[in-house]
Amino acid sequence: MNLKKLQQIKHIVCIASGKGGVGKSTTAVNLALALAQSGAQVGILDADIYGPSLPLMLGVAPGTRPQIEQQKFMMPIKAHGIECNSMGFLVDPETAMVWRAPMIISAFNQILSDTAWSRLDYLIVDMPPGTGDIQLSLAQSVQLRGAVIVTTPQDVALLDARKGIEMFRKVDVPILGVVENMSLHVCSACGHQEAIFGSGGGENLARDYGVDLLGRLPLDIRIRERTDEGNPVVASEPEHPAAQAYRALADNVLERTAVAAESESAGPTITVSDD
């Protein structure tokens, strides 16, 4: 695979979940925008071949296609100040991707290797849910700085999140930490706070695996509304409490990737003894 275009990316971080419906893509998009607001050069890759959502979430006009250079390389599309690419830019939104695993892997590898990313500090990869072929292909193709696991506090999501952590550990991808999404709902009318999906699940998961809880994100209607409008809350309402929660998450990701990079560059420690 031709991965020269990825050598100028400092950190490749995948955002994953064990199951769908936990807000992984929304988290990935707002995290990418929050990292960009911190001053980083950021790109985001939509790796969900079956259900690409990045074009809608970033407000890219329907029918937009990447420009092709040298008859091969796709120029990433700019939206809200970050670079992006997705299968959603290459096929009709109403087209069902009825493909077997080899076709899915081939399509993913082509988008991964043939996108002409700029010199980036971060490439955020929005993974499909589960622990399947694309996760394995990505881990085997590039040097990942680490994975961020998104879950909700409820038990059924936590069970699948554990499988995601175990999968990345088996392929030697560091776990940067856990994000507990939909952690707390604050009523917009009265301010009452309620843990609709339970509480403490993300913290318990992080503790069980000895990793950091990177953030707790609220269940807030503005997140959903702004995402559906293609104008994510981090970009459109930076002072909103939800946007501030994403920026706190970004700060923790910045810290964890710096530590992971330093650990990787340090190499192994050799101890000499008389034994």
CATH of the domain at 8: 3.40.50.300
Specify the DSSP class assigned to residue 5.
Answer: G
* pLDDT tier at 71, thresholds 50, 70, 90: confident
Residue 52 scores a pLDDT above 60: yes
Look at residue 65 in the predicted model and tell me its pLDDT.
Answer: 94
Look at residue 195 in the predicted model and tell me its pLDDT.
Answer: 85
* pLDDT tier at 54, thresholds 50, 70, 90: very high
Q: What distances in angstroms separate CA 214 from CA 94, 168, 229, 253, one per listed residue?
A: 36, 17, 27, 7
* 184 closest CA partner among 224, 153, 150, 148: 153
Q: Do 125 and 138 touch, CB atoms closer than 8 A?
A: yes
Give the number of other CB atoms < 10 A from CB of residue 21.
10
Q: What distances in angstroms separate CA 248 from CA 193, 203, 208, 226, 241, one per listed residue?
A: 20, 16, 23, 19, 10
Structure tokens at 141: 């193709």
Phi then psi for 173, rounded to 5 degrees?
-100, 120
Specify if 228 maps to a domain.
yes
Q: What distances in angstroms separate CA 128 from CA 21, 105, 153, one per listed residue?
A: 11, 12, 20
Look at residue 265 in the predicted model and tell me its pLDDT.
Answer: 67
- Check residues 199 and 228 and name the one with the higher pLDDT: 228
How many whole angstroms from its chain centre is CA 187? Answer: 28
Specify if 262 maps to a domain.
yes
Radius of gyration of the chain (CA): 19
Specify if 142 maps to a domain.
yes
Residue 161 scores a pLDDT above 80: yes
Strands (E), 24-81: 42-46, 68-69, 73-74, 77-79
Look at residue 274 in the predicted model and tell me its pLDDT.
Answer: 58
Look at residue 109 in the predicted model and tell me its pLDDT.
Answer: 86
Look at residue 264 in the predicted model and tell me its pLDDT.
Answer: 76
Domain count, the chain: 1
Phi then psi for 245, rounded to 5 degrees?
-65, -40
Residue 35 scores a pLDDT above 60: yes
List, in sequence order, the alpha helices (H) in 60-100.
Answer: none
Specify if 14 maps to a domain.
yes
* 223 closest CA partner among 96, 38, 35, 33: 33
Specify the DSSP class assigned to residue 94.
Answer: T
- Check residues 90 and 74 and name the one with the higher pLDDT: 74
Containing domain of residue 29, as a range?
Answer: 4-266
Look at residue 256 in the predicted model and tell me its pLDDT.
Answer: 96
Percentage of the chain surpassing pLDDT 90?
Answer: 61
Which run of H or of E encompasses 82?
A: strand 82-86
Specify if 271 maps to a domain.
no
Look at residue 203 in the predicted model and tell me its pLDDT.
Answer: 92
DSSP SS3 for 149: strand
Residue 242 scores a pLDDT above 70: yes
Look at residue 101 in the predicted model and tell me its pLDDT.
Answer: 74
Specify if 205 maps to a domain.
yes
Look at residue 1 in the predicted model and tell me its pLDDT.
Answer: 46
pLDDT in tens, 184-213: 887 778 878 888 888 888 999 999 999 999
Looking up tokens 């971080």 gives 13
* 241 closest CA partner among 209, 264, 216: 216
Specify if 194 maps to a domain.
yes
CA gap 221, 43 in Å, rounded:
26
Number of Cα atoms under 13 Å in the Cβ half of residue 226: 19
Average pLDDT in the chain: 89
CA gap 270, 118 in Å, rounded:
37
Look at residue 267 in the predicted model and tell me its pLDDT.
Answer: 52
Specify if 273 maps to a domain.
no
Which run of H or of E encompasses 132?
A: none
Q: Which range among 105-109, 126-130, 219-223 has the greatest average pLDDT?
A: 219-223
